[in-house]
Structure 1
Amino acid sequence: MSNTRAEGAYQRAVVAFKNPTLDLLHGHYAPFVVAMLSIVFSADRASVAVADAHAEVAEGMEALKAAGYDDETRRIPTGSAREICRGWARNGWLQTQIDDDVEVYRLTAHAVGALEIAGRTGGGRARVSRSRVRTLLDSVDRLARDAEIDPAERLARLTAQRAELDAEIARLEAGVIEPVDDEQLLEEAENVLHLARELPADFARVAESIKAMQRDVINELRRDVRPTGEILREYLQRGQHVMQSTPEGRAFEGALRLIGDPDRIDALTDQVHRVLVQPFARGMTPDQRVELDAIARRVEQGVAEVLTAQRRASHVITAQVRTHDPVRDRQIDDLLRSVMAGLHEWMQQPDSGAASGTGNAVSERVEPLHSFPVADIGHLRQTLNDLDPPSAPAALSEPDDVEFVDADTRAWGGPRYAELEQHLATLGERFDLADAFTSASDETRRPVDLLGLLEIAHRNGMDETDDVSVVEAVRPDGTTRRFAFGRVSALTAASAVGSGAASSSSPDSSSEAADD
Structure 2
Amino acid sequence: MISRAEGAFLGAVRAFQNPMLDLLHKRHAPLVVALLSLVFTAERPTVPVADAHTEVGDALDQLRAAGHGDALPVGSARDLCRQWADAGWLVRQVLDDDVEVYRLSAHAVGALEVAGRAGGARARVSQSRVRTLLDAVERLAADADPDVMVRIARLDAEVKRLQAEIARLERTGVVEEVDDDELLEEAENVLHLVRELPADFARVAESIKAMQRDVVTALRQDERPTGDVLREYLQRGEQVMDATPEGRAFSGALRLLGDPHRLDELATQLDTVLRHRFAARLPSPRRAELRDVVRRIEQGLDQVFAAQREASYVITAQVRNHDPLRDRQVDDLLRDVMTGLQEWLPGTRRAQGVAPLRRLPVADVEHLRQTPGDLRPAQAPDALPEWDDDVAVTDADARAWGGPHYADLDAHLRAFGADSPAVDLAAAFSAAPPELRRPVDLLGLLELAHQRGMTESDELAFVDAVRPDGTRRRFAFGATSTRTRDESDD
Q: Fold conserved (TM > 0.5)?
A: yes
> CA 1:480/1:220 → structure 2, altered by over 3 Å: closer, same or farther?
same
Alignment equivalent of 2:75, drawn from 37, 62, 79:
79
Counterpart of 1:304 in structure 2 is 302
- 1:43–1:294 Cα contact (<8 Å) kept: no
Q: Which amino acid aligns with 1:166?
A: Q
1:83 Cα deviation (Å)? Answer: 1.1
- 1:64–1:70 Cα contact (<8 Å) kept: yes
Counterpart of 2:84 in structure 1 is 88
Residue deviations 1:44-75 (CA, integer Å, cap 9, x gap):
2111111111121122112222222222xxx2
Q: Which amino acid aligns with 1:131?
A: S
- 1:43–1:297 Cα contact (<8 Å) kept: no
Residues 200-349 of structure 1 correspond to what in structure 2 (within 5 A)?
200-330=198-328
Q: Which amino acid aligns with 2:62?
A: A
1:291 Cα deviation (Å)? Answer: 1.0
Please provide the CA RMSD for this pair: 3.3
- 1:95–1:108 Cα contact (<8 Å) kept: yes
Distance (Å, rounded) in 2 between the aligned partners of 1:140 and 1:370: 73
> CA 1:434/1:191 → structure 2, altered by over 3 Å: closer, same or farther?
closer
1:415 matched to 2:387? The reply is yes
1:294 Cα deviation (Å)? Answer: 1.0
Counterpart of 1:9 in structure 2 is 8
SS at match of 1:45: coil
Distance (Å, rounded) in 2 between the aligned partners of 1:138 and 1:370: 75
- 1:235–1:321 Cα contact (<8 Å) kept: yes
1:123 matched to 2:120? The reply is yes
1:164 Cα deviation (Å)? Answer: 1.2
Counterpart of 1:182 in structure 2 is 180
> CA 1:121/1:336 → structure 2, altered by over 3 Å: closer, same or farther?
closer
SS at match of 1:299: helix
> CA 1:66/1:330 → structure 2, altered by over 3 Å: closer, same or farther?
closer
SS at match of 1:125: coil
1:267 Cα deviation (Å)? Answer: 1.6
1:340 Cα deviation (Å)? Answer: 9.0
SS at match of 2:252: helix
> CA 1:332/1:373 → structure 2, altered by over 3 Å: closer, same or farther?
closer
| Gap runs ≥5 in structure 2 | 345-352, 364-378, 403-465, 471-490
1:135 Cα deviation (Å)? Answer: 0.4
Q: Which amino acid aligns with 1:281?
A: A
> CA 1:179/1:479 → structure 2, altered by over 3 Å: closer, same or farther?
closer
Distance (Å, rounded) in 2 between the aligned partners of 1:294 and 1:479: 71
Alignment equivalent of 1:369, drawn from 350, 357, 360:
357
Q: Which amino acid aligns with 1:28?
A: R
Distance (Å, rounded) in 1 between the aligned partners of 2:7 and 2:253: 36
Counterpart of 2:51 in structure 1 is 52
Residues 153-168 of structure 1 correspond to what in structure 2 (within 5 A)?
153-168=150-165
1:370 Cα deviation (Å)? Answer: 7.1
Report the identity percentage. 60
- 1:214–1:317 Cα contact (<8 Å) kept: yes
Residue deviations 1:297-350 (CA, integer Å, cap 9, x gap):
110000110011001001100110111122443455567778999x89x99xxx
- 1:44–1:297 Cα contact (<8 Å) kept: no
Alignment equivalent of 1:141, drawn from 138, 143, 147:
138
> CA 1:217/1:370 → structure 2, altered by over 3 Å: closer, same or farther?
farther
SS at match of 1:52: helix
Distance (Å, rounded) in 1 between the aligned partners of 2:277 and 2:142: 36
Counterpart of 1:36 in structure 2 is 35
Counterpart of 1:499 in structure 2 is none
- 1:22–1:114 Cα contact (<8 Å) kept: yes
Q: Which amino acid aligns with 1:369?
A: L
SS at match of 1:68: coil
Distance (Å, rounded) in 2 between the aligned partners of 1:7 and 1:370: 60
- 1:131–1:187 Cα contact (<8 Å) kept: yes
Q: Which amino acid aligns with 1:115?
A: L
Residue deviations 1:249-274 (CA, integer Å, cap 9, x gap):
01100100100112221221121121
| Gap runs ≥5 in structure 1 | 348-364, 376-403, 424-432, 439-445, 448-477, 483-516
Distance (Å, rounded) in 2 between the aligned partners of 1:87 and 1:370: 36
Alignment equivalent of 1:114, drawn from 103, 111, 114:
111
SS at match of 2:141: helix
1:123 Cα deviation (Å)? Answer: 0.6
Residue deviations 1:103-141 (CA, integer Å, cap 9, x gap):
111110000000100111111221100000100000000
Distance (Å, rounded) in 2 between the aligned partners of 1:20 and 1:338: 33
TM-score (norm 2): 0.71
Residue deviations 1:80-106 (CA, integer Å, cap 9, x gap):
111111111111111011123211111
> CA 1:218/1:266 → structure 2, altered by over 3 Å: closer, same or farther?
same
SS at match of 2:92: strand
Counterpart of 2:435 in structure 1 is none
SS at match of 2:255: helix
Distance (Å, rounded) in 2 between the aligned partners of 1:338 and 1:34: 41
> CA 1:415/1:374 → structure 2, altered by over 3 Å: closer, same or farther?
farther
Larger Rg: 1
SS at match of 1:106: strand
> CA 1:194/1:370 → structure 2, altered by over 3 Å: closer, same or farther?
farther
